[in-house]
Amino acid sequence: MNRIGNELNKLVNRSLDRHVRLAVTGLSRAGKTAFITSLVNQLLHVSTNPRLPLFSAVREGHLLGAKRVPQIDMHVPKFGYDEGMSALLESPPVWPDPTRDVSQTRLALRYKPQKGPMKLLQDTATLYLDIVDYPGEWLLDLPLLEMDYLSWSQQQAKLLKGKRSELAQSWLEMAEEFDPLAPADEALIERLSAVFTEYLYKCKAEGGLHWVQPGRFVLPGELAGAPVLQFFPFVWADKYSEAQLQQADEHSNFGMLKSRYKYYQQHVVKAFYREHFSKFDRQIILVDCLQPLNAGPESFNDMRQALDQLMQSFKYGRSSLLRRLFSPRIDKVLFAATKADHVTPEQHPNLVSLLQQIVNDAWQTASFEGIKMDCVSLSSIQATEPGFVSHQGQQVPALRGHTLSGQAQMLFPGEVPRRLPNDAYWQQYGFDFVNFRPLDIQSDEPLPHIRMDKALEYLLGDKLR
């Protein structure tokens, strides 16, 4: 009888255990790796963590503990938590290496249910938390699903202005003689694609530009070197009529570019939405607003454009493309302005207000049915300590930390604009932040952070009641 009772109990427990898939994204260097490392670290220290007062499950003592458990999706690379922590525990500490592909980790959170059938049936329950990290650049590819190769090429041709056209020079020159109607020359297409990919990398590295398509070209993950990443837009439409190009057969250069583009749409873009995106429950989008403020107006506007684009993936209007592909599940999205410790604390409200303005424009005009949204500013792993310095007889706020090369510094990096910066801002204000190395930490203490608990409350609070 007792054994049957135990089995029954186990069965009830198992059926009541719950599961949430939290997706973490952002453009490269937005702070995804630092965020996930800190999130896992905060949760692993949960029973003795004094640093999470805004996370109700911890404040009220419902969350009993967390442990890492093997992930279910065995084909997805594991997130490098141990590697990240070893880097942070080095002396002096260094930042973890960023991940460049999709990766995943799983935690089991043990908690005391506070309401509903869970409370009646069980003293404790388990919430399985899958954290999935993927590059935001992959979301920039969504519009490709609604464009054929020719219309995508026309759109890319229009973008070749200003900085982009300068950066594209070597690709454009090398492709000058490219004949779309000639028989397909795979080696030539491979060479030209390599120079086109270099141009996309340059947009990010030299131009401070984020909106690059196809997004997988700059973060190829396991597809590096595969022919599906060897094509480029045909931007020389003035030399050939649309009819000529439409008639080019499948054995021509144009035919090969077209069929690779189609393969990319089906097997890279669609596959990501089907295999990963459609299974997410919650999403946090990390945004580094400070680097583009440092880099200037072109970079800032480009980041806004990239974010507008990225938000299209959360637009689930009835006739939306995503709803036609599958039924999306995400019900809450949190936008987080990262690296808040790069600015003094009295600037944090401005940082949130700026982020709200960046995302609200797109949010207001689109239909994000059934999705809740909020904005916070946070620092996943705090690298500076706030303080004051005397300046002309007055106490002014400042930050103290060590630069990446180890120099001790005390500085005021600048003011964050409350609203979207206009021309006057760019002319008058300079914003100049320094990259600091992480603070020294002890292995048995949780990582220092700013408002990670607020993010945890928004993303998981209701799941732990």
Burial grade of 442 (CB within 10 A; 0-12, 13-18, 19 or more): exposed
Residue 29 found at the interface with ligand GDP (CB under 6 A): yes
Burial grade of 253 (CB within 10 A; 0-12, 13-18, 19 or more): buried
Q: Is the dihedral of CA 132, 198, 302, 146 positive or negative?
A: negative
| Footprint (CB under 6 A) of ligand GDP, residues 418-447 | 435-436
Q: What angle do CA 308, 456, 74 make, to 5 degrees?
A: 80
Site pattern 280..319 for ligand GDP (x: CB under 6 A) = ----------------------------------------
Closest to ligand GDP by CB, 309 vs 380, is 380
The alpha carbon of 267 is separated from its chain's Cα centroid by a whole number of angstroms, namely 21
Q: How far is CA 184 from CA 178, 194, 196, 243, 249, in A?
A: 11, 17, 18, 19, 10
Residues paired with residue 337 on neighbouring β-strands, in sequence order = 287, 377
Q: How far is CA 324 from CA 130, 161, 327, in A?
A: 26, 34, 8
CB of 408 to ligand GDP, least distance (A): 15
Question: 351: which 2 tokens?
Answer: 């940082």
Residue 30 found at the interface with ligand GDP (CB under 6 A): yes
| Footprint (CB under 6 A) of ligand GDP, residues 191-250 | none
Closest to ligand GDP by CB, 261 vs 335, is 335
Cβ(133)–Cβ(73) below 8 Å: no
CB of 301 to ligand GDP, least distance (A): 21
CB of 268 to ligand GDP, least distance (A): 20
CB of 108 to ligand GDP, least distance (A): 24
Closest to ligand GDP by CB, 91 vs 392, is 91
Pairing of strands 63-69, 385-391: unpaired
Closest to ligand GDP by CB, 282 vs 342, is 342
Residue selected from 252, 253, 283, 338 as contacting ligand GDP according to rule CB under 6 A: 338
Angle between helices 186-205 and 253-264 (to 10 degrees): 50
Residue selected from 210, 276, 304, 342 as contacting ligand GDP according to rule CB under 6 A: 342
Residue 400 found at the interface with ligand GDP (CB under 6 A): no
CB of 302 to ligand GDP, least distance (A): 17
Residue 339 found at the interface with ligand GDP (CB under 6 A): yes
Residue 81 found at the interface with ligand GDP (CB under 6 A): no
Could you give the CA distance from residue 433 to residue 427 in angstroms, rounded to a whole number? 17
Question: 248: which 2 tokens?
Answer: 């080019």
Residue 380 found at the interface with ligand GDP (CB under 6 A): yes
Please give the single-letter amino acid code of residue 320.
S
Residue selected from 20, 22, 23, 34 as contacting ligand GDP according to rule CB under 6 A: 34
Question: 129: which 2 tokens?
Answer: 């938390």
Residue 273 found at the interface with ligand GDP (CB under 6 A): no
Cβ(78)–Cβ(104) below 8 Å: yes
Question: 432: which 2 tokens?
Answer: 């100049």
CB neighbours of residue 42 within 10 Å: 23
Closest to ligand GDP by CB, 152 vs 217, is 217
| Total of residues contacting ligand GDP (CB under 6 A) | 21
Residue 344 found at the interface with ligand GDP (CB under 6 A): no
CB of 246 to ligand GDP, least distance (A): 40
Residue 383 found at the interface with ligand GDP (CB under 6 A): yes
Closest to ligand GDP by CB, 72 vs 205, is 205
Closest to ligand GDP by CB, 245 vs 398, is 398
Residue selected from 21, 23, 31, 310 as contacting ligand GDP according to rule CB under 6 A: 31
| Span near ligand GDP by CB under 6 A; candidates 118-126, 166-174, 334-342, 416-424 | 334-342
Torsion angle defined by CA atoms of residues 270, 363, 100 and 33, in that order, rounded to the nearest 10 degrees:
-140
Q: What angle do CA 40, 354, 385 make, to 5 degrees?
A: 50
Could you give the CA distance from residue 353 to residue 337 in angstroms, rounded to a whole number? 10
| Footprint (CB under 6 A) of ligand GDP, residues 94-123 | 95, 98-99
| Span near ligand GDP by CB under 6 A; candidates 50-58, 85-93, 337-345, 406-414 | 337-345
Cα of first residue to Cα of last residue in the chain, in angstroms, is 32
Which parts of this chain interact with ligand GDP (CB under 6 A)?
A: 26, 28-34, 95, 98-99, 338-339, 341-342, 379-381, 383, 435-436
